[in-house]
Amino acid sequence: MSEVKVPELAESITEGTISEWLKSVGDQVEKGENIVELETDKVNVEVISEVAGVLTEIKAEEGDTVEVGSVIAVVSDGEAQPASNDAKPEKQEEPSKEDAGKPEATETKEETASSNERIQATPSARRLAREKGIDLSKVKTQAGDVIRPEDVESAAKPQPQAKPAEKSQPAQAKPAEKSQPAQAKSNDNPSKPVVREKLSRRRQTIAKKLLEVSNNTAMLTTFNEVDMTNVMELRKRKKEKFQEDHNGTRLGFMSFFTKAAVAALKKYPDVNAEIDGTDLVLKQFYDIGIAVSTEEGLVVPIVKDCDKKNFAEIEQDIVDLAVKAKDKKLGLDDMMGGSFTITNGGVFGSLMSTPIINGTQAAILGMHSIVTRPIAIDKDRMENRPMMYIALSYDHRIIDGKQAVGFLKTIKDLIENPEDLLLES
């Protein structure tokens, strides 16, 4: 027999939540096969079986919090496979011989789990269905073949009206009643309806980390505006050639801002630092976090060694990390070790914001929407120019206002003069 334990995740991660069992008790598993998905503070991690055999015991249910090193399942070794395989049909025969409650409940659970595995649904929809006790086989999709969270929400709404049916089926009444208390509380005042949902582990972690930053830093934000005319013209002239030369990689704005940030960090090294107790740790590497929005919240994967990469390499890394984030394929290495962060609220239409510092870093750069506005070229001329507000939130314990303003001014100057940015690179 082999015990399946929660693996070492990362230095700062000591526990995770069972997100989804990919195998059920009695299932055959291969060595190295994923059997369970853990949701951690940063990413989802799939745990493998170290041996081939049969999953004989599950010690933690979906939704349970488990610590690193704890045993969550047992898999038989190779010698135990025949016995486990023989035992499986015997369990299936028992319900047909006896009408005992326990075999029926076990069979129903296994049938529901296997049927749910065959149904196409997003991970967030599966999680919501588990929380609300919804059978995915009874959920109708509003668009396409994949069940989404909104489909589960729609399926959950008619449930309180199913009481007459429950009376005619006493055996199914108890599970239905167990899922009602939270809804009953939320509907005490019918004229003020609410929906009560448990926060996902990721959302709880985001809330905790943001509150820690707010409580443990002296955060201020300074603003500037950037004339995007020259970058946009350069991008327009070079984008097709750039794409041809770099295997389809597109030239976006993020590589310009990432390179500008690296140059500014070299000029103002305190912005690339963090406090560790009574020490100031000055980082001499340039691993830039790029904030990416996903269904479960904001994640910040890291583009490593941006000072050593060209524009195309940075653009491709950003695309790859964004795809991995949306597909929930980010690894812990993708999330660890950032020295500075860039977030682009402009993709959602934000005109101005005060971004919150990421973790123990000293600062974060916020990009925003590009808006055409009348700008004074000199005292006699006005022109309509594509303008972007940029923001730098910083820890005033490390960075003085003069440094923060100088840093943001450096970003502005390099973006407005992209030829200088190329020379800096």
Picking from 307, 274, 295, 288, the residue whose alpha carbon sits closest to that of residue 397 is 274
In terms of DSSP H, where are the helices of 139-297?
Answer: 149-156, 163-167, 173-178, 181-186, 201-216, 229-245, 254-267
Q: For residue 16, report the phi and psi dihedrals to the nearest 5 degrees.
A: -150, 175
CA dihedral 359, 364, 370, 373 (to 10 degrees): 130
Is the separation of the CB atoms in 249 and 242 below 8 Å?
yes
For the beta carbon of residue 326, count every other beta carbon within 10 angstroms.
Answer: 14
Q: How many degrees, rounded to 5, is the angle at CA 300 between CA 347 and CA 40?
A: 130
CA separation, residue 214 to residues 219, 220, 291, 309 (Å):
7, 10, 18, 33
Which are the catalytic amino acids?
396, 400
Name the helix (H) or strand (E) containing 407: helix 401-416
What is the spatial distance between Cα 288 and Cα 263, in angstroms, rounded to a whole number?
A: 12
Spatial separation of the C-alpha atoms in residues 381 and 248, rounded to whole Å: 40
Residues written for the chain: 425
Contacts of 127 (CB under 8 A, 6+ apart): 19, 20, 200
Side-chain half-sphere exposure of 7, counting CA atoms within 13 A: 15
Judged by DSSP in three states, 98 sits in coil
DSSP string, 58-116: E-S-TT-EEETT-EEEEE--GGGHHHHHHHHHHHHHHHHH---HHHHHHHHHHHHHHHH
Cβ distance 42 to 332 under 8 Å? yes
Query: Six-digit token pair at 423?
Result: 């020379």
Q: What is the rounded CA–CA span in Å between residue 132 and residue 14?
A: 28
